Amino acid sequence: MNVKEMYKLLWEDTFNYQGLPNPDLWTLETGGHGFGNNEAQYYTDRIENAMVKDGVLHIIARKEDYLNRHYTSAKVTTKHKNHIKYGSIRIMAKMPKGNGTWPALWFLGENMDQVGWPMCGEIDLLEHVGHNPNQIHFSLHSKKRNFGIGTQLTHVIKVERATELFHEYRMDWDEKSISFYVDGTHHVTFTKNKKETVETWPFDAPFYLILNVALGGIWGGIIDDTIFPTEMHIKYVKVYERSDAV
């Protein structure tokens, strides 16, 4: 008898309200210390940088002086509110335009504060840099496989009009593998082998979700000051847990 894998909705945000992101689901992290990448933005908790209207979450990057930085943006996370371990995550998003933008839909281990990065693990459902538009990066980072040493697991695809149209970015995650999809089309699966340790595969623990637009930095590059304000749009976030049914 075959075992059929199925998913049921665990939680979602379809942004059918107005104002700041729902505080029962999301935290607006703040700070402007460069985040290890020499990033230029200060993440605020203001509605000017993270606003829900017309059924869409707008993460808005602006050129403005704010505390120690000359740009602002938002970093919307589920840290300490909704962690994820295995299942399917689906996000309908449209990327911001402009050189210097570095938006991402990604995950960090819930133990980040205890063990630090990269030991906690990082899953990138999407990274996009404005100076290379429509190129979408899927990646996994761990202590022994990360961009700092050039050993991360990664895959790059072209998504037509990623800055003009909404696309669904999806990740299916279980005990053996993590698979990535765009608009229902499978693009890559990273598979856990029998020799993995927590230093190479820390992805058997709870993670939290991050939606953000970074600016500049080691990958975002030179910022075009004529682009602002520029926005990443999110129509929905849906998190499904896996159930096995015969």
Residues annotated as part of the active site: 122, 127
Q: Which residue has the tokens 């015969």?
A: 246
DSSP symbols for 73-130: E-EEE-TTT--B-SEEEEEEEEPPPSTTEEEEEEEEETTHHHH-TTTT-EEEEEE--T
Q: 209 and 84 in contact (C-beta within 8 Å)?
A: yes
Nearest Cα to 148, choosing from 179, 128, 172, 119?
119
The identity of residue 18, as a single letter, is Q
Cα gap 216→71, rounded to integer Å: 10
